[in-house]
Copies of this chain bind each other. A is one copy, B any other.
Amino acid sequence: MSADTPSVADVGEFGVISRITAGLRQPPSTLLGPGDDAAVIAASDGRVVASTDVLVENVHFRLDWSNPDHVGRKAVAVNLADVAAMGAVPTAVLVGLACPPSTPADVLAGISGGIAAAATAAGAGVVGGDLVGAPQLVISITALGDLGGRAPVTRAGARPGDVVAVTGRIGWSAAGLATLSRGFRSPVAVVAAHRVPEPPYAAGPAAADAGATAMVDVSDGLLADLGHVAAASTVAIDVRSDALELPQKLVDVAAALGADPMRWVLTGGEDHALAATFPGAVPDGWRVIGTVAEGSGVTVDGRPYEGASGWQHWG
């Protein structure tokens, strides 16, 4: 390792942490930020929403497909989408980073910068973390949020007669992954969507305010995640394929790659859009794509969908 690209081991744990925390800007909800045994975050609602997700290099991201800033932003988006899907507003993230001591300090700085930028953009502070040595780069993020007096919107409240609606992009990340997997770096729009999902955070609390009965973020794929809602709510969900948005961009990419764009929309994961059920009218920005009925399972146009059922971490 040359002197002008110092590694984490060169800079040392505390040196790296100092570099990371020096530039952090904290929102008012951060009552005590990084540097002590623990952080203190406002939870004025009297409850706190919390979710943890772990990203592993070469499983959830590749540093030859994404730069460190992308990786940091994605790690935050994955987590804050879970908070939004409960109807909460993000307040804070805590970051556990494990990496080889040989990791360039600039790579960690890039990841940390992406984490800070994405958290700040969502109104959340980076309030704490831990940095340890490991053979592989692993990023574990815990996101906290505030319900602001709203009842949490679980997966279990969908009722027969509700409509199913979505907001945010769906299928774009899968299109980007397929593009990168084939060795291409464009179209930029789909590749960027895979590198850094942009969940519609504000739509989560807005849906809760509008009476959403169930909500989930689309992380495993639309049908898989609606399957989680159907199972938790003990209802059946039917998606109408002609109600789904099939952007021309996805059609074009699919044509170029010999793929089925509708499969990306129905089963592609990692877009972190929001899907919810509503007893009546849906809020602005949401698209009705199906209905809830008595029964179980998820169908498309009344039939089981043939094809992959969503993203799998194993095998």
User: Do the beta carbons of B136 and A59 come within 8 Å of each other?
Assistant: no
Which residues of chain B are near A35, meaning CB under 8 Å? Answer: 155, 232
Which residues of chain B are near A101, meaning CB under 8 Å? Answer: 314-315
User: Do the beta carbons of B56 and A49 come within 8 Å of each other?
Assistant: no
User: Do the beta carbons of A95 and B52 come within 8 Å of each other?
Assistant: yes
User: Do the beta carbons of A147 and B232 come within 8 Å of each other?
Assistant: no
With contact pairs A8-B314, A59-B133 given, residues A86 and B36 touching in the complex (Cβ less than 8 Å):
yes
User: Do the beta carbons of B217 and A56 come within 8 Å of each other?
Assistant: no
| Alpha-carbon gap, A8 to B314, bound state (A) | 8
| Alpha-carbon gap, A232 to B33, bound state (A) | 13
User: Do the beta carbons of B217 and A54 come within 8 Å of each other?
Assistant: no
| Alpha-carbon gap, A41 to B72, bound state (A) | 26
| Alpha-carbon gap, A136 to B31, bound state (A) | 35
User: Do the beta carbons of A132 and B38 come within 8 Å of each other?
Assistant: no
Q: Interface digits, A122-147 against B, CB 8 Å rule (1 contact, 0 not)?
A: 00000111111111101010111101
| Alpha-carbon gap, A13 to B315, bound state (A) | 10
Q: Interface digits, A301-315 against B, CB 8 Å rule (1 contact, 0 not)?
A: 000000000001111
**Cβ of A98 < 8 Å from any Cβ of B?**
yes
Taking the nearest CB of chain B, how far is it from the CB of A259, in angstroms?
Answer: 25
User: Do the beta carbons of A52 and B142 come within 8 Å of each other?
Assistant: yes
**Cβ of A50 < 8 Å from any Cβ of B?**
yes
User: Do the beta carbons of B133 and A136 come within 8 Å of each other?
Assistant: no
**Cβ of A247 < 8 Å from any Cβ of B?**
no
- What residues of chain A have their CB less than 8 Å away from a CB belonging to chain B? 8-9, 12-13, 31-32, 35-56, 59-60, 81-83, 85-86, 88, 92, 94-98, 101, 127-136, 138, 140, 142-145, 147, 152, 154-156, 215-217, 232, 312-315
Name 24 A/B residue pairs within 8 A (Cβ), A-sorted.
A8-B314, A9-B315, A35-B155, A36-B154, A37-B81, A38-B51, A38-B85, A40-B47, A40-B152, A41-B48, A42-B47, A48-B144, A50-B127, A50-B128, A50-B144, A51-B128, A52-B94, A52-B95, A52-B96, A54-B130, A54-B138, A56-B133, A132-B313, A140-B140
